[in-house]
Each structure stands twice: as C-alpha cells, then as structure tokens.
Structure 1
C-alpha cells in the first residue's frame, strides 16, 4: 500500500513541476523579447518541439496515474468499476510504450549535442526565454520522475512487445512527419542538426535511424530494470 502513496507523490511533483515551468515560460514569451524574429518563430511553433510533446505526455500520464491511484484508494473497500481498470491500463501502456523511451531520448540526445555544440540543438536566443532551471526541468528532471514510477509501480515483462513497439513506431513516425511538414510549411527546421544533416545525402537518414535504434534500446532497458526491481512480484495488465 505504501507504493501507491509514493506514486501519487511522484505524480504530484510531476504536475507541479511542469505547471510551474509552463507558467514561467508563458510569462517570458511576452513584451520586448517578442521583437526577436527567432523568438516569434519559436513561439508560433513551440508545440511542435519534441521536448514539448514529451512534457505534455508526461503531464497526461501523471494525471491518469494520480486519478487512478486516488480512485483505487477510494474503492479499496468496494468493487472497482470497470473503467478504472481501463484507465490504469492506459496509463501503464503509455508509460511503457512511449513515455519511458522518449524521456531518455530527450535527455541523452539533448545533453550530448548541447555539450558538443549547443547550436545544433539549443540556439543562443533560447536563453532569453528558457532559464537554466527551466532547461533542466525539460531535459533532466524528467528522467528521475520516470525512474520513480518504475520503482513504485508493480509490473512484469510483457509476453509480447508487439503492441508497445507498434505504438512507439507510430508515435515517432507521426513526430517525424510533423517535423518535416514544418520544414515544408515554414522553411525552417526546429532543430538545427536536422537542417545541417538534410543538406547531405546520407547524414539525415543516418540520424533518423540512430534515433530509432536508441528509442528501442531505451524501451527494452526498462524491462531489464523491471526484472531487477519487480520479478517475480505481482503483474500488472499491459
């Protein structure tokens, strides 16, 4: 029973952290700073950045988790409604199939490029609208939060990974489509590294392939950790 309260703490921290960060970012995207054409472009399409997709997904999963855990406690002495199980299963599925691998991709891909050449992933003008704290919330703090979920959510390795892998593939394919559509629509790449790579014959598909490989490595990494933490403990529906 203690695990459910620890999960709820993690969800509350997640929602508070991202809510506070969005409030700060919205306040900074106002006033004289909007005279910068780069920032105006960023503001117009910020919802298309992969980091922002990951943030919204983490908020959604945390909202599902907090609600389902609260209702689990509420119905602890009575029969659970069917839809509560569906909600819990949806949260677990989204976490395993998409949230875990994309959070690790966001953190490792961003910080690797940032320390190599920040202009490839994080232009200088971004400092006007993203503080160091906001940057770490988006690209660093997201990792311990998903690890927290893994540690306090009973789970086991699914017999088949087909559905999870299919969901991850569709999600990433959708994002790459949005990214390319943005280039066709606005003539800009949201991340400079893709613009540089696109001008070559081989680097662009190599980077996309590398990202795909890393995602599937991160996806399977969670099950290795799950075996350490939870096997052979109780299973959850996936």
Structure 2
C-alpha cells in the first residue's frame, strides 16, 4: 500500500467513524432524551421514514468504518465486507438519504405544516433536525468524494430498493388502518387519489437518486483516477 493510498484510507476511516458516532448518538438522543408526543402514539417513532433512514445511514457508516479497519489490517479479508458496504450504500443508503433530505426540505419550503409543524420546534432542537434531514445528503455526497463504489446493475438495485419501499408502505398502511394514524400531516389534506400519486412520486424520487448516485460516483472516480485496490 503506497503512502498516498494509506493516507486515503486513514481519511476514510476517520470520516466514516465520525459520522457513524454522530448518527448512533443521535439515535440514542432521539429515542431516550426527546420527549415527543408521537412516542406515545401507535408504533411510536418507528413509523417515520426519517427514522428508518437514520437507521440505514447508521448501519452503512458502521459497516464502512468496520471495512476501513479490516482493510488496514488485512486487505484480502476485507473484500467481502466491501461488497456489503457498497451494496448497502448504493442500493439503500444513498437513494434513501438523498431523497429524504430533498423531499423534507421541499415540503418544508412549500408549507412546513405539511411535514414538520411549528410546534415541534419546542421539542426538537434545530441541530437534531438538521442531522435527521440535512445530514444524509451532505454526508453521502462527502462520502462520494472519499469512496469509490462497485455498483450492481441498475435494475437489480431498483428491484431491491422498491422491495424496501414496499415494506415501508405496507407498514405505513398498517399504522393507518390498525393505529388510525396518518404518519405525516400532508396525508390529512390529500385525497385517496392524491395520496397514491404522492407515494408514487416518492418511489420515482428514490429510483432517480439511485441512478444519480451511480453517475455522481462515476464522474468523481473516472477510471484514470481509481488506484489499484482503491476503497
């Protein structure tokens, strides 16, 4: 491993470890320090896509940190973990994280009451809100400049991503019909047809960012810029 590559590995390890602990501590803070009324409602905080996203981001950066550590110790033994790291990031973490950030702030700009009512400011600090809704897209774009990923075929990624979304949508409807709770305020102002259309747009948004994630990484890491055994 040459000196430049070794330096790159240290940067990757420090970055991934830092973001992992930010997310892990934020998860702890969200569930054990915040006193939110939604925790007392059906399914608690586990019904929100933002929390699912936070868990996926934490998992990804945790695996990325573990990969960096093993790569430093034994490069050969880290290859299988790299496949797992790349799969989680390119299939779930990147499209979900970027879509959640874009969707949240777009709705917030139109009418914050649709997604994040003003009264929440009394319970949720702005720094926590930014980790939840700004952090994903910022950290993932930074990560794209640090790591080169091996992407599975686009159709394969989309198939797995849609499967994940279907699981969440099933959970969304379960909470609605068995808990009599619409997760976000926006659903209260939409008709059944509009809800279906809105959820379809979210699926398209996820797929779009899955495609863009690959293009961004390929632009940053042109073949001539990828050293041998690059992260």
Residue in structure 2 matched with residue 58 of structure 1 by the alignment: 57
- Indicate how the Cα distance of structure 1 residues 206 and 178 shifts in structure 2: closer, same or farther if over 3 A, else same: same
Can you give the 5+ residue segments of structure 2 that lack an aligned partner in the other structure? none
Residue in structure 2 matched with residue 178 of structure 1 by the alignment: 171
Within 2, Cα distance between the matches of 1:171 and 1:52? 14
What CA deviation, in whole Å up to 9, does each residue of 1:28-65 have, x standing for no partner?
Answer: 32xxxx6xx556328x5202211111111111111111
Q: How does 1:64-213 map to 2 (within 5 A)?
A: 64-76=63-75, 80-81=76-77, 84-155=78-149, 158=152, 160-197=153-190, 200-213=191-204
Given that residues 54 and 103 in structure 1 are in contact (C-alpha distance below 8 angstroms), is that contact kept between their aligned partners in structure 2?
Answer: yes
Within 1, Cα distance between the matches of 2:138 and 2:19? 10
Given that residues 28 and 129 in structure 1 are in contact (C-alpha distance below 8 angstroms), is that contact kept between their aligned partners in structure 2?
Answer: yes
Q: CA deviation at 1:173?
A: 0.7
Within 2, Cα distance between the matches of 1:146 and 1:236? 21
Within 1, Cα distance between the matches of 2:107 and 2:59? 28
Residue in structure 2 matched with residue 11 of structure 1 by the alignment: 16
Given that residues 98 and 168 in structure 1 are in contact (C-alpha distance below 8 angstroms), is that contact kept between their aligned partners in structure 2?
Answer: yes
Matched, 1:215 2:214: no
Within 1, Cα distance between the matches of 2:51 and 2:184? 13
Within 1, Cα distance between the matches of 2:63 and 2:27? 19
Within 2, Cα distance between the matches of 1:123 and 1:169? 29
Given that residues 182 and 189 in structure 1 are in contact (C-alpha distance below 8 angstroms), is that contact kept between their aligned partners in structure 2?
Answer: yes
> How many equivalent residue pairs?
222
Within 1, Cα distance between the matches of 2:218 and 2:84? 21
Can you give the 5+ residue segments of structure 1 that lack an aligned partner in the other structure? none
Q: CA deviation at 1:169?
A: 0.5
The TM-score normalised by the length of structure 1 is 0.85
The TM-score normalised by the length of structure 2 is 0.87
Counterpart selection for 1:28 from 29, 34, 40 = 34
Within 2, Cα distance between the matches of 1:21 and 1:193? 26
Q: CA deviation at 1:15?
A: 1.8
Within 2, Cα distance between the matches of 1:217 and 1:229? 18
Within 2, Cα distance between the matches of 1:231 and 1:92? 17
Q: Secondary structure at the match of 1:28?
A: coil
- Indicate how the Cα distance of structure 1 residues 49 and 140 shifts in structure 2: closer, same or farther if over 3 A, else same: same
Residue in structure 2 matched with residue 48 of structure 1 by the alignment: 47
**Which structure 1 residue ranges, 4+ long, deviate > 3 Å from structure 2?**
155-158, 233-237
